[in-house]
Amino acid sequence: MGSQETINESQDAGLQLVNTKLPVVVYSTPKVASVAVAQQIADVLRAASAAEKNAVLALAPGSTPQQVYRELIRMHKEEGLDFSHVSAFVSVEFYGISRDQVQSVYRSLRETFFNHVNIPDSQVNILDSEADGETIEEYCEAFEQQIQDAGGIDFALLGIGSNGHIAANEPFSGVSSRTRLCVLDPITRLRLASDFIGEKNVPAQALTMGMGTLLESRQVVLMALGEHKSRIVRDLAEGDITNRIPASALQEHVNAMVCLDPASASEMQEVVMPWTSDSVQWDETMITRTMVWLCEQTGKALSKLEDDDFRNHNLHQLLRLHGPSHVLALKVFGWLQATIHDGQVVEGQQKVICFSPHPDDDVISMGGTLIRLNEEGHETHVAYMTSGNIAVFDHDAQRIADLVTEYNHLFGIENDKSIDVERRVRESLSTKEPGEPDIDAVLKIKGLIRWSEAKAGAIEVGCDEENLHFLDLPFYRTGTIEKRPVGDVDKAIIVSLLQRIQPDIIYVAGDLSDPHGTHRVCAEVILGAIHQMLNNGEAVPDVLLYRGAWHEYAIHEIDITVPLSPAHLMKKRKAIFMHESQKDETLFPGSDPREFWQRAEDRNKGTAKKFNDLGLPEFLAIEAFQRWTGQTL
């Protein structure tokens, strides 16, 4: 049921949505969306070259356009795309930080894009994070004049913040505003906390190109990727123009469009209610999706729906083709009932591997299922794909360094090396700038903390210590938020583990919430390894996908549900508690103030309630999974 996609993955040209207030195109994957945007930029460059003039680009920093820049670099190196006649203006820069700081837009875009194409340095214009505060207005006016002298912006590539900002034009920015120094919104600063290793380190101000500056661009493409952008994208494209959502001003632009992936488009009306379109394929997934929606609208269980409920909600076609109401209710009830594994989680005696992107994802996301698998006697392995070492507070690393030194002293163990390590750790942490990468010794200690917590959590849910595998994939080993591209060596590690264990089933984090996050990257590595093994004629396991701490699959997307008893839920909570460095307060909390165990329990109880509201058997909590049948994540 869950593997079918509303947006056809073969439509690389994208699907243009209807009933939106500016053009919105949804592409099958983030990569396809990025390639499409890169092609538009390439077209602008080629048209300018043919007209023997410069192409003037306004470019955005951040994670969203990174794949666009990688594709442009590829086109430059492999297809000869020429950037020598490009004038580039970067739309935003943090104010008050050094250009050498890892979070500076200047450093980031030079390292990820400008240094890899043939744009002359004199034609790269990035706002100066260290501009003199006393003459900042004159500096901003001069930057505006540079844009005008270049001929105005031909193409602006923009992202959107969760509060609707574009560049650093925060809510209530004027549509005629120009390049200026502005104060960052608290929501923006919270979102940036992970980049700066703590909200307190995020600059309070930024230099930004103004709304008026950007709206004068001859062509504008706004990109949004990931589930966390879905609500603001819906408000931008389907709501009214309002200064509460600065990006909504693009509705009045004569040549603006929005490019999305399926996750960021998930709240759009045409996606939420696809049956409103002219051509509906009433398959099992679509019928289930529609019936669940109808139950939510009417407040009724499946068995209580009447024919008039369908008519009152414009579902005449579904009723005519597949009704009457009681027949539809029985069908959907049967389909959903079949997902519930309240007997055995899996039949027989199986080998399973849970792939955990971070050291705590296993117990947070499917801890109850791991408990039940171990209770049933299955050979249950957990593979921890990354160390998670950047998500540990400095004071925890210092505490462990002190502890080891005192431990050695107490038991008369040779102590010179541990004293030296403690000294280096203390000196490094006391002099470290905000967001500066840790030295190797600190990273090792932080990784050791996560290792010990992961082991304790897995043992709590019943796993044997010898079935725990700490892979420490190379792509993650940067010591910063920014990771390396996935390489063949990452995939080879996964292939080796699968060949050695030969599992019957593997569980993979299938998150769409962040297309550049570790969960998605880990999923791509695993599924790439599966494809490689298939191409080599090797046997591969069944793949089940689970979601992370923040989101759960919608009812129509679920293929398997695992009910949890009160005892299972309490044991799962205890396993999460073993991750003490992530308890009470985490380094990267996001916008959700709840602790991980609370998020997990609320999610599991919420899924159970949805099933109960539909008239299905009542459970305290449910963990949900989707079968992977080759679909693109």
- Which position has the higher pLDDT, 156 or 103? 156
| Over residues 454-465, mean pLDDT | 98
Q: How many domains does the chain have?
A: 3
pLDDT score of 590:
62
Tens-digit pLDDT profile for residues 76-107? 999 999 999 999 999 999 999 999 888 999 99
Phi-psi category of residue 486: left, alpha or beta, with phi > 0 → left and psi -120 to 50 → alpha: beta
Place of tokens 């060596």: 489
pLDDT score of 120:
96
- Predicted confidence band at 7 (pLDDT cuts at 50, 70, 90)? very low
- Predicted confidence band at 183 (pLDDT cuts at 50, 70, 90)? very high
In a domain, 431, yes or no: no
Helix (H) or strand (E) holding 488: helix 488-501
Place of tokens 């442009």: 72
* Mean pLDDT score across all residues of the chain: 92
Find the domain containing 385 and state its range: 351-389+452-627
What is the CB neighbour count within 10 angstroms for residue 585? 9
Tens-digit pLDDT profile for residues 242-284? 999 999 999 999 999 999 999 999 999 999 998 887 678 899 9
Q: What angle do CA 344, 348, 351 make, to 5 degrees?
A: 100
Please tell me whether residues 256 and 377 are part of one structural domain. Answer: no
Distances (CA, A) of 445 to 359, 398, 400, 569: 15, 9, 7, 31
Q: Which CATH number is 247's domain given?
A: 3.40.50.1360
Tens-digit pLDDT profile for residues 16-50? 998 899 999 999 999 999 999 999 999 999 999 99
Instruction: Inform me whether the pLDDT recorded for 216 exceeds 60.
Output: yes
User: Which of 270, 303, 320 represents a domain boundary (last residue)?
Assistant: 270
Q: Which residues sit opposite 383 in a β-bridge? A: 355, 469
Alpha-carbon distance of 457 to 444, in angstroms, equals: 20
Instruction: Inform me whether the pLDDT recorded for 4 exceeds 50.
Output: no
In a domain, 464, yes or no: yes
Model's pTM, two decimal places? Answer: 0.87
120 by Cβ neighbours in 10 Å (0-12 / 13-18 / 19+) ranks as exposed
pLDDT score of 221:
98
Q: Which CATH number is 367's domain given?
A: 3.40.50.10320
Alpha-carbon distance of 316 to 150, in angstroms, equals: 57
Please tell me whether residues 38 and 183 are part of one structural domain. Answer: yes
Alpha-carbon distance of 425 to 432, in angstroms, equals: 10
User: Which of 287, 303, 334 represents a domain boundary (last residue)?
Assistant: 334
- Predicted confidence band at 433 (pLDDT cuts at 50, 70, 90)? confident
Q: Which residues sit opposite 249 in a β-bridge? A: none
Instruction: Inform me whether the pLDDT recorded for 491 exceeds 80.
Output: yes
In a domain, 404, yes or no: no
Please tell me whether residues 128 and 191 are part of one structural domain. Answer: yes
| Over residues 511-525, mean pLDDT | 77
Q: Comparing C-alpha atoms, which of 29, 100, 106, 107 is closest to residue 71?
A: 29
In a domain, 442, yes or no: no
| Over residues 153-182, mean pLDDT | 97
Please tell me whether residues 136 and 192 are part of one structural domain. Answer: yes
pLDDT score of 277:
73
pLDDT score of 196:
84
What the block records as the tokens of 317 is 């076609």
What the block records as the tokens of 597 is 């165990």
pLDDT score of 339:
97
Q: Comparing C-alpha atoms, which of 447, 452, 391, 444 is closest to residue 421?
A: 444
Please tell me whether residues 217 and 289 are part of one structural domain. Answer: no
Please tell me whether residues 192 and 147 are part of one structural domain. Answer: yes
Q: What residues contact residue 112 under an 8 Å CB cut-off, 6+ apart? A: 66, 69, 70
In a domain, 81, yes or no: yes
Alpha-carbon distance of 141 to 206, in angstroms, equals: 15
What is residue 152's DSSP assignment? Answer: S
Q: Return the half-sphere exposure (C-beta side, CA atoms, 13 A cut-off) of residue 51.
A: 10
Q: Which amino acid type is present at position 159?
A: G
Instruction: Inform me whether the pLDDT recorded for 10 exceeds 70.
Output: no
| Over residues 566-584, mean pLDDT | 94
pLDDT score of 6:
42
Please tell me whether residues 264 and 298 are part of one structural domain. Answer: no
In a domain, 487, yes or no: yes
Phi, psi for residue 571 in degrees, rounded to 5: -65, -40
In a domain, 224, yes or no: yes
**Contact call for residues 207 and 249 (beta carbons, < 8 A):** no
Alpha-carbon distance of 114 to 544, in angstroms, equals: 40
pLDDT score of 200:
85
pLDDT score of 280:
86
Please tell me whether residues 178 and 281 are part of one structural domain. Answer: no
pLDDT score of 588:
65
Tens-digit pLDDT profile for residues 321-346? 999 999 999 999 999 999 999 989 99
Instruction: Inform me whether the pLDDT recorded for 289 exceeds 90.
Output: yes
pLDDT score of 9:
40
Which residues are marked as active site?
170
| Over residues 382-401, mean pLDDT | 93
In a domain, 396, yes or no: no
Find out whether the peptide bond into 324 is cis, omega within 30 degrees of 0: yes
**Contact call for residues 539 and 622 (beta carbons, < 8 A):** no
- Which position has the higher pLDDT, 517 or 560? 560
Alpha-carbon distance of 622 to 616, in angstroms, equals: 12
What the block records as the tokens of 396 is 């925890």
Q: What residues contact residue 1 under an 8 Å CB cut-off, 6+ apart? A: 284, 285, 288, 335, 339, 556, 557, 558, 559
Q: Comparing C-alpha atoms, which of 284, 273, 285, 279 is closest to residue 314?
A: 273
Please tell me whether residues 236 and 144 are part of one structural domain. Answer: yes
What the block records as the tokens of 353 is 């591997």
Phi, psi for residue 78 in degrees, rounded to 5: -100, -25
Please tell me whether residues 224 and 314 are part of one structural domain. Answer: no
Tens-digit pLDDT profile for residues 464-479? 999 999 999 998 887 6
Please tell me whether residues 537 and 604 are part of one structural domain. Answer: yes
Please tell me whether residues 233 and 290 are part of one structural domain. Answer: no
> Collapsing DSSP states into helix, strand and coil, what is residue 125?
strand
Q: Considering only CA atoms, give the Rg of the chain.
A: 26
Tally of residues, the chain: 633
